Structure 1
C-alpha cells in the first residue's frame, strides 16, 4: 500500500537524524514530489521477483537485487549465507564520530501465493486509485517527474509486507543525500529471507555472525502495519507465535451416511466439540493456565496504551463486525495471548460435497504469544486440555489396536519453529530518546 509506505518513508528519514527533524521532514516531502514515481517503480520491480522462502533461486535473486540497490547508495553490503537457507542481506553505513548504531530489520520474503485467490498477477503489481474494498480502479504507473497521490494503493505479493519499507529506506537515503543532511548514527541493515516461514535459521545466523551485531544500540523492526487511523506509530514489541495441527479420527474409511449416519462417530462434529471447549462464548480462552504466564506491563506503559487512540468503533464499522471478543479495547487485547482456528477441513463442500461420514477432520491452531509465554509450554497447556476432554493423543497415524482401545483419538503435530514474544521497556533511556524524538516530529504531547 502506498500511503503506509510514505508514512514509513517520513519516519525512516527522521529517526537516524533526530537532531535535524524539521529539515528532514521538509526534505522528505520535497523528494516525494520530485521522485515519487521512481520510488513506486522501484517497488513494482522488486515485487516482480517471486519470494517464498522455499523458492531458493528466486529468493537469491531478491537478495542480490536488494544488495545491489543499497550498495549503489554507498552501503557496504554482503550476503550472509547458510546451506539450504535464504540469505540474510546485511549492510553497514558508518558515520564519522557517531556514538550509536541503529539496525533496521525487514524481510524480503512473502507468503505463498494461491493464484485463485488473487484478482491480479501477484508478481505483476498494479496501482489503484484507492483501496480495492473502497471500489478502487487500476490506474497506469506514473511517469518520472509526475506527481503521486498518497491515497493510491499498490497491490502485489509483499507490496506492503515487507518490501515497501525496504524501498522506503532507500528513498530516505536518497532524500538525505539530495538535501545534504548528514546522518548522526551508524546504520546497519538486517533483511531476513524467511520471516513468513518463522525464520528457522535466524538463530544460526545470529550465533555465527554475532560479532557483526555487538555494537548495535537499538534494533528497529520495520515490519508492521500503519496505525489504523493512518498516523505514524512505533511498537515496542512483537507478539510471538506457535501453531499446532490436530487430526481427529473416525472410521478407518469414509462411510455412507445413509447406512451409518447416527451410529458412526463423525470426526468433524467431534473436532467441533473439542475446539468449542477451548473458548467461552465471548472468545476468552478457557484452557487452564493460558493467561497465567503473561508478564505485566509497567504503569508508564499502561498509561501509553490507554492514551492511544481507541479505534474499536472505526474497525468494527470497517470490518462489518457487530461484536468483538473478550473485554477491553483492541490495544488492550493485544497484551494477551490469542488462540485462533486458522484452518478447518473435513470432507468436501459445495459441488464436491458427498453423503459420507469422513474418516478424519483437521484443525490448524495458531497461538499469538505475549511476553512471558513460552511457545513449548503454551502447547503443553493445549495438550493438557485435550487430554482433560477425554482424548488420547498420538504423534503418528493410529494403528488398528490403538483405534480399538481409545474412543477419541487425535494426532497432534507441534510447530518446532515457533518463537516467543519480544518487548522492550518503553521507559528505558535509549527508548525514551526515540519516543521523545518522534513526538517532536508528530507534535504528540501525550
Structure 2
C-alpha cells in the first residue's frame, strides 16, 4: 500500500498539466516510485563526497563512486580516461553495445562542482551534508529526515552542492539505464557514458582527453545533461551554449591608504576610477559600448528564429520571483538577451564596507569580468576588444604590479589579467534528423509542448566536441530553474529527478 501511495504523490507534479501515458513511460514511472528509497540513499551518498576539482583526493573518490555505480548496473568497459597532464581529474567512461543498433549516443554530465563558502549557506545547511526539505527554504520549507517508508513528495528538495549541477545529471543518466534493464527494455542505440571531472574549473584538460581518446569517443550524437528545464517547468531541449571568458582588472591609487579628509579631492580614488571605467562599458539600455563587441556574431537561422518566437514568455514570472521592476536590456526578452554576447561584473572589491568601513582612500580597486560569447565570437579576440576599450579610456595596461617608475609616468594604471581557460560558443542545427528524433522521444514523456532553445544562457566547452571529434551535441536538462546552481543553498526538486528518469530512458529508447 505504501508504494501505491508514493505513486499517487508522483502522478500530479505541479510542473506539468498532464502525464504522457505510454506503456514504457508508465513502466519507468512505476520503477521510480517503487525504488525511490534505494535511489535517494545512493544519491545522498554521492552528494556527500566533496567534489571541488582541485581537491584531488575527493575527486578520485567521486570517480570511484561513479565507476562502482556503473559496474553495478552492468555497464561494460568502465575505465578512467586520463588527460595527458598528470594529476588532472579524469573522465569516467563506460559503454553498452546493443546487438543490431545502428547508431551510438554518448551521455555527458560532470561530477565536479563549484567551490563553496559554507558561511554563506543558510543556518543548518552544510554543502556536503545532503538534507531533505519540504520546499524551498526561502518559502518556509522545513528540514525533515529522509523517509523510511518510500513516500517522497515531488515538491520536496534536497539541498547540497552539486545536487542539481551536475551530480543530478550523472545520477539520472545511470539510474535511467538501470530502470530500462530492470524493466526488460533494451536501448535502441549503442550507449556510451562520459562523466567529466573539472567542468566547473573551465575544463582545462578536456581537449587532451578528447584528442587522446578520440577513437573510443566516436558517436552519432552527444546528449548533454546539464542545466535547468524552462522557467515554466516545461521540459526543454537546448541546441547550443554560449562561450565564456574571464578577465581580472585592478586599478591603482596611492601606494598606501590615505585619510579621506586630509587627501580627499586630491589623491585619485581607485574605486571611483574603476567604477567609471566599468560604467563606460555599457549604456543605459544594457548594450555593450565596446567597439566591435557584436561585429562577428553569426546570425540565427530561420528555424532558430522561429523556435525563439515560440518560447513561452517568463518575463512577469521572473520579475516577480527575483523582485525586479525592470530589466537591463531595453526591448529584449530573456531568451533574446541570452542570444547575444554579454559583459557581466562578477564582483568588485576596494576598501571595506559595513562595520569594517573606514574613512580612507584605498590603494587599489579590483573587478572580475565575465564575457559570455555566442557563435562567431572568438574568446581571445573578445578579451582583446575589452583591453582596447580600456586603453581608449586613457589607461596604461600592465600585467604585473606597477613599479615606482610606472606610477610616476602614468596617471591611469590598470593591471589586466585575461583568463587563460576561455572557450567559444557552439550550436547544433535544429533540423538534423537525429535531433528531430530526440525531440520526438522526449515529447513522449509529457503532454506539454517542449521548449526548444537555440542556445542556453550558460556555458559549456561543447565546441571542443566539434573540434576534436566532429560531433554534434544536444543539451537535455532536468534540474529545476530555481536550483541555486553555483551559489549557496544549491538544491534539486525531487519531481525533476524523477521526470529526468523518464526523459533519459526515452532518449535511450528513441526510434
Class of the TM-score when normalised by the shorter of the 2 chains: over 0.9
Matched, 1:345 2:346: no
Deviates more, 1:30-39 or 1:379-388: 30-39
Matched, 1:68 2:72: no
* 1:57-95 C-alpha deviation (Å, 9 max, x unpaired): 100000011011011101121011241201111111111
**Aligned partner of residue 51 in structure 1, secondary structure:** coil
Structure 2: unaligned runs, 5 residues or longer: 1-9, 12-19, 451-511
Matched, 1:262 2:265: yes
Deviation at 1:445, TM superposition (A): 6.2
Aligned partner (choices 307, 324, 328) of residue 304 of structure 1: 307
* 1:321-375 C-alpha deviation (Å, 9 max, x unpaired): 1011212211111111111000100011111111111110001000111111110
Residue 251 of structure 1 corresponds to which residue in structure 2? 254
**How far apart, in 1, do the equivalents of 2:22 and 2:378 lie?**
43
Deviation at 1:442, TM superposition (A): 3.0
Q: 1:155 to 1:445 in 2, by over 3 A?
A: closer
Checking the alignment, whether the CA contact within 8 Å between 2:290 and 2:389 is kept in structure 1 is yes
**How far apart, in 2, do the equivalents of 1:348 and 1:72 lie?**
53
Residue 3 of structure 1 corresponds to which residue in structure 2? none
**Aligned partner of residue 294 in structure 2, secondary structure:** coil
**Aligned partner of residue 398 in structure 1, secondary structure:** coil
Residue 11 of structure 1 corresponds to which residue in structure 2? none
Deviation at 1:253, TM superposition (A): 1.2
Checking the alignment, whether the CA contact within 8 Å between 1:242 and 1:417 is kept in structure 2 is yes
Residue 31 of structure 1 corresponds to which residue in structure 2? 31
**How far apart, in 2, do the equivalents of 1:295 and 1:105 lie?**
26
Matched, 1:436 2:437: no
Deviates more, 1:357-366 or 1:25-34: 25-34
**Aligned partner of residue 275 in structure 2, secondary structure:** helix
**Aligned partner of residue 282 in structure 1, secondary structure:** coil
**How far apart, in 1, do the equivalents of 2:229 and 2:39 lie?**
19
**Aligned partner of residue 234 in structure 1, secondary structure:** strand
Residue 404 of structure 2 corresponds to which residue in structure 1? 400
Residue 210 of structure 1 corresponds to which residue in structure 2? 214
* 1:164-188 C-alpha deviation (Å, 9 max, x unpaired): 1211122212221222111100111
Aligned partner (choices 419, 424, 430) of residue 420 of structure 1: 424
Residue 78 of structure 1 corresponds to which residue in structure 2? 79
Matched, 1:193 2:197: yes
* 1:249-283 C-alpha deviation (Å, 9 max, x unpaired): 01111111121111000000000000000001122
> Which structure is higher in RCO with an 8 Å CA cutoff and minimum separation 6?
2
Checking the alignment, whether the CA contact within 8 Å between 1:34 and 1:147 is kept in structure 2 is no
Matched, 1:175 2:179: yes
**How far apart, in 2, do the equivalents of 1:207 and 1:334 lie?**
30
Structure 1: unaligned runs, 5 residues or longer: 1-5, 8-19
Checking the alignment, whether the CA contact within 8 Å between 1:27 and 1:176 is kept in structure 2 is no
Residue 239 of structure 2 corresponds to which residue in structure 1? 236
**Aligned partner of residue 150 in structure 1, secondary structure:** coil
Aligned partner (choices 285, 292, 309) of residue 282 of structure 1: 285
Checking the alignment, whether the CA contact within 8 Å between 2:80 and 2:93 is kept in structure 1 is yes
**Aligned partner of residue 435 in structure 1, secondary structure:** helix
**How far apart, in 1, do the equivalents of 2:155 and 2:104 lie?**
34
Q: 1:154 to 1:367 in 2, by over 3 A?
A: same
Checking the alignment, whether the CA contact within 8 Å between 2:234 and 2:448 is kept in structure 1 is no
Checking the alignment, whether the CA contact within 8 Å between 1:101 and 1:218 is kept in structure 2 is yes
**How far apart, in 1, do the equivalents of 2:370 and 2:301 lie?**
27
Aligned partner (choices 146, 153, 169) of residue 141 of structure 1: 146
Deviates more, 1:369-378 or 1:33-42: 33-42
Number of matched pairs: 427
Aligned partner (choices 106, 131, 137) of residue 132 of structure 1: 137
**How far apart, in 2, do the equivalents of 1:69 and 1:23 lie?**
27
Matched, 1:160 2:164: yes
Aligned partner (choices 272, 289, 294) of residue 291 of structure 1: 294
Residue 117 of structure 1 corresponds to which residue in structure 2? 120
Checking the alignment, whether the CA contact within 8 Å between 2:107 and 2:173 is kept in structure 1 is no
* 1:144-200 C-alpha deviation (Å, 9 max, x unpaired): x52211111100010110001211122212221222111100111111111001010
**Aligned partner of residue 215 in structure 2, secondary structure:** helix
RMSD value over aligned CA atoms?
1.6
**How far apart, in 1, do the equivalents of 2:286 and 2:198 lie?**
31
Q: 1:445 to 1:344 in 2, by over 3 A?
A: closer
Matched, 1:411 2:410: no
Residue 375 of structure 2 corresponds to which residue in structure 1? 371
**How far apart, in 1, do the equivalents of 2:183 and 2:111 lie?**
28
TM-score (norm 2): 0.81
Checking the alignment, whether the CA contact within 8 Å between 1:279 and 1:286 is kept in structure 2 is yes
**How far apart, in 1, do the equivalents of 2:87 and 2:178 lie?**
34
Checking the alignment, whether the CA contact within 8 Å between 1:70 and 1:170 is kept in structure 2 is yes
Greater fraction helix: 1
Matched, 1:227 2:230: yes
Residue 52 of structure 2 corresponds to which residue in structure 1? 52
